[in-house]
Structure 1
C-alpha cells in the first residue's frame, strides 16, 4: 500500500512539473461563450447535365465547371454552404476567422455557444495570412477572448483548440505546441504546429494557451486522408493582431514596401562579397521605388532594418511587411567591404507596381567561349528573340552547361542571362574572361555572378579551382 501511495505521489509531482492540467473544463467554461460556428451561403451557377450524370463525383465536376465558366446570368443558380469557426474579440461584435471560410460568401451567419444566431458583415480580408474580420450587431455586450503573445509560447506548452469540426458543433481538443515558426507557402507565414486535433470545420477557430488567451488561429492540417493525424497549423497571434488592427481601421491591409528583389546569403556568397557571416538579405535588383530613391544598390546586403537584425530574406519580408506605410526607417547595408546606414521612407506593398530597371547598351559582335563548365555566348538578336528577352536586356547567355559542373549544381541552366561577373556588369564573353582572370590573380576562392531568368535576378557564387 505504501508503494502504491508513493507511485501516486511521484505521478502527481511529475504532472505538476510538466504543468499538465488536471482538467480543461474550467478553461472551456471560461472561453466557450466567445467561440462561434460560422455558416456561409453562396449562390453559384448550375451547369447543365454533363457526362458525369449519376457519377458519385458529379458534384465535384459541376463545382469545377462553375469555377471556370464565365458569368452567365441566364444559367440556373443553386445555393452552396460551408462551415467554419471563429471567435469574438470585442464586446461590440468583431469576430476573427479564416478568409477561406467566408470567401465569396453571399451570406454569413454566426451561431453562438448559447444557440443565438446573428448575421455578420464582412469588414475586410487578408488572403496572404488567410485572416478575415467580421462584425455582428448585438443588443447586449458579447463575451469575447483576448489575444495572447504567441512569441512567449514554447515547444511542449499545452494548448486547446475549439471550433466546429466536420459540422458537429462546438467541440474541444487539446494537445501541445509541436513546433514554432512553421512556414507553409506564404511570405508572411508564422504558424504554430500542434498535435491538438484539428479537422475540417475547425478553420478560423482559436488555439488557446492555458490562460484562455488566443495564441493562434487554426488554419490548416497536413493529412493524407483529410482527417486529423496530429499535424495542425495555427497562424500565430502576433501576426494576426497586426492584420486585424489594420482591417479594423482601414478595411484592408497596409503593409510596408521597401522595393527590392532579394535572396539568401550562403557561405560561398558571403566569401565572395567579403562578409564574415552568411546572414542578411542580398539585394539582386532595385526597381523604381523607396529603396532606389534611398540609394540602395544591387549587391548590397541588408543586415539591419529599423533596428531589427536580419538573418535571411524571410525575416526581412516579414519585418518590412509589419512596418507602417510612409514610415522613415534606417536600413544598414553591407557594401564594398563596409557598412552604411540609409534612411528609407516605405511605400505601400499593395500599391506597388513592377518596374523594369534601366540597362546599358548591349555589345556587338558574336562570340562564344567555354569556361567553368558553361558555354557562354554574346547576346545576339537571334538569342534575344529565342529567349524572349526585353529589348534593353544586356549580358551574356549561358548557351550550354555541363550537368556535372559546379555551375549546374548551383542552379545555372542554359538560357540564363549573366548580367554581372565579379560585381561588374558584363556585355561580352571577353568581359567575363577578364573578370574571371582578375579574380584568380587576386587569389579569390569564389566568383560571384548575377544571373537573370525571366524576371527573377539571382546571385550565384561559383568556387574557383586552385
Structure 2
C-alpha cells in the first residue's frame, strides 16, 4: 500500500500496463497451444518432453476416440433407494464410505450453493466420460457412471450418438465395458505398454459438467495411491484438472496412449484442486480383457483375513522389520487351509516377489489364474519357510478381508485396562469393558471383542487369559504381547504393549 501511494500517475500506468501485458501474454500462450499443429508430428512426441508447438496434434489424434457417456435411470420413488445409492451418491466426485478422504466430501456445496445434487434426481440421468478401444465399438468407462442405468448412450465429438450395451462391470476396480450397437467403424486408442513415471505429462480428455470434448494437461504427481475405494487400490495421482463428468475418461501420455482412467478427485471445495486419481492402464487392461471374454472378472483367491505388520507386531513375532502381511484368520476349506497356511503366519513373498503389506498381497493373488500353484515364503515360529499354494477362484463377492490398520503407540498406562468374561460358546474370552486411555483402548480393543489367543496359546477363561498376558509381558520384557482378537469384522492381531509395574 505504501509503495502504491508513492507512485505517480505515470508510474501507476506503467505498472498496470505491465500487468495487462502479462495477462495477455498468458492468453496468447494458451492460444498458441490450442491452435498449433503444423510443425510437430506424432513421431516427434516423447513421453517426457512437451511439444514446443503444444498438444493440439495429440488432441486431434485422440479426440475421435473419446466419448461422453449418458446414463438414464428408471425413476426412483421418494424414500429408501436401492443398494446403488451408497456408491452412486459419490457420483464422479469423492470416495466410498469409510475412505480416509470421506471427511472432505461431507456437506459440500454444489455449483449453486446447496448440497451436491444426487445424480438420480437430476431428471433421471447422469453423465460421465469414456473411450473407444476397438474398431467395432467397445468402450471403457467407470462402473459408477453406468451402475443401475436402464439406458446408456455414447456421444462423440463430431455429434454422433449411439446406444450402448453394458457388457460387464467390476465394482472392485470401478471399471465397466460397453459395446456400441452399430456396424460403423470407430477410431480406437490403446492402453500404454510402458509404465508411467512420476513427472510424466498427461493429457485428460472428457465431459466435465456436460461440456464434452474438454482437454486439460498436467503431470503424474504420484503413483500407488490407496484412497480406500476398494481392495485393489493402486491409483495414479494426476494434477491435470478433472471435475464431475470426467469419470471414466482417459488420461493420455504424449504418444496418445491411455495411461489411466480418471475416477475420483480430492476436493474440499467440490471442484478441482489439482489432485485427481486415475486407474492405471496396467490394471484396466487386464480387467477389461476379462470383462470382454465373458462379462465377469475371475480373480485368484487365497482365503485368508490379513492385516498390516506394525513395528510392535514385528517385534513380538521376531521379525527384524515390519514387512509382509500377517494372516489373522484362515477360511475353512480355502486354498490357504489346504496348503497348510496358519493363523499367525506372515507372508513375505509370492513367487519370489516381496510382499510389503496387505494391498500387495491382495493384488498379487487376484492376478493369479485360479488353479495355478505358487510358492509363498512365510515367517513362522521365528523361521522362514516355503509353502506351495494352489490358488482358488474367488467365490462370488468374497475377497481377502483387510482389517483396520491401527498404528501401535507407546503405552501410557501400567494396567491392562480390560475386564474379561467367558464366551458363551467357549471360544476365547469376551471383553466386557475397556478402561479409557489404557493400552487396550489405544490399540482399538472394544467392548464385545473376543480374545482367542495370547502369544499363540488358546485361552477360554478370563483368569487364564489375564495370567497368560501378565506372564508373557514379564517374560518378554519390552516386547508387546500378541493377542488374536475377533469381532464382527473378522479377526486381527493386536500387539499390546504393557509397561512393567
With structure 2 as the length reference, what TM-score do the two structures score? 0.75
2:312 to 255, 263, 268: 268
Q: CA deviation at 1:240?
A: 0.8
1:215 aligns with 2:249: no
The answer on 1:258 being equivalent to 2:298 is: no
Q: What residue number does 2:219 align with? A: 176
- Which residue is 2:7 aligned to? none
Return the match for 1:441 from 475, 479, 492.
475
In the TM superposition, what whole-angstrom CA distance separates every residue of 1:135-174 from its partner, at most 9, and x where no partner exists? Answer: 1244343211110147x22222211000111112211111
CA contact (8 A) 1:287 1:354 kept: no
The answer for the alignment partner of 1:244 in structure 2 is 288
Tell me, which stretches of 5 or more residues in structure 1 are unaligned? 1-15, 49-55, 65-77, 356-369, 385-390
The corresponding residue for 1:234 is 278
Change (3 A) 1:399 1:81: closer
Residue 165 of structure 1 aligns with which residue? 208
Give the aligned partner of residue 437 of structure 2. 404
C-alpha separation in 2, matches of 1:103 and 1:233: 20
Q: Distance in 1 between matches of 2:173 and 2:218?
A: 23
In terms of fraction of residues, the more strand-rich structure is 1
Counterpart of 1:44 in 2: which secondary structure? coil
- For 1:371-410, what aligned pairs fall within 5 Å after superposition? 372-379=415-422, 384=424, 391=425, 394-410=427-443
Equivalent in the alignment of 2:408 = none
Which structure 2 residues correspond to residues 47-446 of structure 1 after superposition, within 5 A? Answer: 80-149=124-193, 152-185=195-228, 186-288=230-332, 289-351=334-396, 372-379=415-422, 384=424, 391=425, 394-432=427-465, 433-434=467-468, 436-438=470-472, 440-441=474-475, 443=477, 445-446=479-480
How far apart, in 2, do the equivalents of 1:244 and 1:440 lie? Answer: 55
Structure 1: distance between partners of 2:353 and 2:156? 42
Q: Secondary structure at the match of 2:293?
A: helix
Q: Distance in 1 between matches of 2:74 and 2:311?
A: 54
Find the residue that maps to 2:71 and give its secondary structure: strand
2:80 aligned with 1:36, yes or no?
Answer: no
Cα distance 1:79–1:404, how it changes in 2: closer, same or farther (>3 A)? closer
**Deviation digits for residues 361-420 of structure 1, max 9, x if unmatched?**
xxxxxxxxx98422343405xxx4xxxxxx3x5112333333232222222233322111
Q: Is there any run of 5+ residues in structure 2 with no aligned partner, and where?
A: 1-45, 80-112, 401-412
Residues 161 and 173 of structure 1 are in contact (CA less than 8 Å); yes or no, is this contact kept in structure 2?
Answer: yes
Q: Structure 1 residue 180: deviation in Å?
A: 1.2
CA distance in structure 2 between the aligned counterparts of 1:18 and 1:214, rounded to whole angstroms: 15
Deviation, structure 1 residue 456: 1.9
Change (3 A) 1:95 1:375: closer
- Deviation string 1:236-279 (CA, Å, 9 cap, x unpaired) is 11111111011011201111110001111011111111111210
> Does the CA-based 8 Å contact 2:420-2:433 persist in structure 1?
no
Deviation for aligned residue 1:123: 0.5
**Cα offset, 1:459, TM superposition:** 0.8
C-alpha distance in 2 between matches for 1:135 and 1:41 = 16
Map of 1:73 onto structure 2: none
CA distance in 1 between partners of 2:282 and 2:239 (Å): 20
Q: Over the residues paired in the alignment, what is the CA RMSD in angstroms?
A: 2.9
Shift, 1:301, TM fit:
0.4
Residue 254 of structure 1 contacts residue 349 of structure 1 at CA under 8 Å; is this kept in 2?
Answer: yes
1 CA distance for matches of 2:364 and 2:175?
Answer: 19
Q: Report what 1:7 is aligned to.
A: none
Query: In the alignment, is the contact (CA less than 8 A) between 1:92 and 1:137 conserved in 2?
Result: no
1:36-58 deviation digits (Å, cap 9, x = unpaired) = 1222222214559xxxxxxx989
Q: Equivalent residue for 2:486? A: 452
Per-residue CA deviation, residues 48-84 of structure 1 (Å, 9 max, x unaligned), is: 9xxxxxxx989969957xxxxxxxxxxxxx9622222
User: Does the 8 Å contact 1:46/1:62 carry over to 2?
Assistant: no
Cα separation, 2, equivalents of 1:442 and 1:184: 37
- How high is the TM-score relative to the length of structure 1? 0.80
Q: Look up the match of 2:100.
A: none
Aligned pairs, number: 406
Tell me if structure 1 keeps the 8 A contact 2:154–2:161: yes
1:455 deviation in Å?
4.0
* Native 8 Å contact 1:255 1:350 kept in 2: no
SS of residue matched to 2:73: strand
Q: 1:298 to 1:17 in 2, by over 3 A?
A: closer
